[in-house]
Amino acid sequence: MNSSFSLQTRRIQKHALALSHSRASLSQWVMLAACLMAPGVFAQTLKDAMAGALSIDPSLRSASYNRDASAENVAQARARLLPQVSLQGSDQKLTQTTTQDTLLGPNSRTFSGPSKNYQMSLRQALIRPRDVAGLDAARAQKENGELRYQTELADSRLRAAGVWLDVLAAQQTLQAYTQTLDPYERAAEQEQNRFKGGEGTRDSVLEARAQLESARAMVADSRQGLLAKQAAFKLATGLPFEPMGKVSLPQIKRSFLNALDKQQLWERISQTSSDILASRAIEKVQQSRLKQSDYDHYPTMDLVASYNQAQNDATSTQGIRYQNKQVGVQFSVPIYSGGAITSAQRQQLAVYEASVADRQSLELRIEQDYQNVWASQQSQVERIAAGEMLLEASLDQLTGAKKALALGLKTWGEVAQAQSAVARRTADQVNNLITLYKTQLRLLRMLPAQDPYWEQWTELFHAESVKVSTAR
């Protein structure tokens, strides 16, 4: 019996020694974490993050090049309707021998001299319905390229704002869980002292130790989460992470987006959404191409003119210089092409109808997404209000537990539990805020990148994040 008790005592003393060493190393770690968070802020503002993302985003760069390429379609299509002028010529030395058979025998003659031929020609389209429709298609392609660029611009801003918010949220969560370490350490030490004094039990010592390890695990997990968010931030923005900074997670429970009329906002989205307008531009392209296939049955007419100057360019003109001037029209009337034109018409009609269906499907999908996102935004506001009440209740319980501890009515273990509840509800509230902010970003994503709401939202969150950090 005595040997069993001695064994248990040695185990507890071993735990106490390990606790003492771990507390020393943990203190160093906490100091490092405190420097890392400082407290819960970092240098890059929302505007910095967006500017950085726009400067390195390969998707945005690709969209920019595609936009420029699409714009060139207009110049190429317009060129088919503009005058076409060409100059061609040749300048050679000609040596020619001609032989004529006669009754008296072959009669040969040799000519040697320069052979020249220069021609300038002009062609101007007069009746080209297919090329006119092609110019309309090219303009729609240019419009689509610009709208696709605006879509990528909005996506780039959304990604930058998302990783920026994630870093701020991860820092605040880490800070909340770090604050639980001190009370859990004190609780473990208190239980060890009580056991040594004969008041506690071995189970209570081990339980306090386990709770401390659990708190450390939560801090370590939060820290790894922060490191992952920092890495994602650097990849998305190209900016190095600078922990000692000037911004912190904004506390905006309601923004101007919450106050907007639901139907009016949807009408704004349906009329200006880059995705919807791009689908309509594609529909215009296919409609113009359908007209082109119809115009393949139509005759065409061009004005043609040419000026030709030549010397010794043929056997019949040896030793002669001459000039030709021609002006007139050239026309073409399609009569029969084996059914290819009619087949092309049917094919293009099917492609056009598919583009109409695609546009309608996209509009329906965006409207459904809008309804869900709007509802999520409104419900998230209620969750944040409820989360605030829960957090305030936890803070009151923590305050009460500390007062009771000072009076000797509660233990450090109970204070640690109260502090842990505050940390959990703080993390929940941070997640609620981040969910609300990202929901609002999804609403903004439905609007074009040049919409004033984008700038208004950015200015609001930029100012509030700096204000929160300054207040701290």
CATH code, domain with 328:
2.20.200
Encode 412-446: b = buried (16+ Cβ within 10 Å), e = exposed: bbbbbbbbbbbbbbbbbbbebbbbbbbbbbbbbbb
CA angle 11, 408, 201 (to 5 degrees): 20
pLDDT of residue 18: 44
Cα 335 versus chain centre, distance: 52
Tell me the C-alpha distance between 236 and 345, whole Å. Answer: 46
111 and 13: one domain? no
The number of distinct structural domains making up the chain is 2
Tell me the C-alpha distance between 172 and 176, whole Å. Answer: 6
Last residue in a domain, options 333, 356, 386: 333
218 and 348: one domain? yes
Tell me the C-alpha distance between 26 and 21, whole Å. Answer: 9
Q: What is the pLDDT of residues 146-197, one digit of tens each?
A: 999 999 999 999 999 999 999 999 999 999 999 999 999 999 999 999 889 8
pLDDT at 36 over 70: no
**What is the number of helices (H) and of strands (E) in the chain?**
12, 4
Residue ranges making up the domain that contains 208:
2-81+129-298+338-471
Tell me the C-alpha distance between 348 and 137, whole Å. Answer: 13
Distances (CA, A) of 370 to 40, 96, 253, 365, 455: 33, 83, 20, 8, 20
Place of tokens 């208004």: 456
> What's the whole-number mean pLDDT along residues 90-95?
84
| Torsion angle (degrees, nearest 10) of CA 411, 414, 416, 417 | 170
Mean pLDDT of all residues belonging to the chain: 87
pTM over 0.75: yes
pLDDT of residue 100: 81
Last residue in a domain, options 275, 307, 333: 333
14 pLDDT band, cuts 50/70/90, is: very low
pLDDT of residue 58: 95
- Give the closest residue to 470 by CA, choosing from 5, 100, 39, 29: 39
Last residue in a domain, options 311, 333, 355: 333
pLDDT at 280 over 50: yes
Distances (CA, A) of 324 to 114, 306, 314, 404, 447: 19, 8, 15, 114, 63
| Token duo for residue 290 | 């359908």
Give the count of beta carbons closer than 10 Å to the beta carbon of residue 28.
9
| Token duo for residue 156 | 């780039």
37 and 110: one domain? no
Query: Which CATH number goes with the domain that contains 368?
Result: 1.20.1600.10
95 and 116: one domain? yes
| Token duo for residue 211 | 């709770």
98 and 49: one domain? no
Contact between residue 115 and residue 311 where contact means Cβ atoms under 8 Å apart: yes
Percent of the chain with pLDDT over 90: 71
DSSP conformation class of 42: B
> What's the whole-number mean pLDDT along residues 259-288?
95
51 pLDDT band, cuts 50/70/90, is: very high
Q: Report the length, in residues, of the chain.
A: 472
Tell me the C-alpha distance between 141 and 18, whole Å. Answer: 71
22 and 108: one domain? no
313 pLDDT band, cuts 50/70/90, is: low
50 and 187: one domain? yes
325 and 419: one domain? no
> What's the whole-number mean pLDDT along residues 263-280?
96
367 and 423: one domain? yes
In this predicted structure, which of 238-242, 281-285, 401-405 has the lowest mean pLDDT? 238-242
Contact between residue 387 and residue 434 where contact means Cβ atoms under 8 Å apart: no
Contact between residue 447 and residue 193 where contact means Cβ atoms under 8 Å apart: no
| Token duo for residue 382 | 């209620």
29 and 61: one domain? yes
Distances (CA, A) of 273 to 147, 150, 266, 294, 467: 9, 10, 10, 32, 32
Whole-number CA gyration radius for the chain = 40
| Token duo for residue 460 | 């609001």
116 and 234: one domain? no
Contact between residue 147 and residue 444 where contact means Cβ atoms under 8 Å apart: no
363 and 326: one domain? no
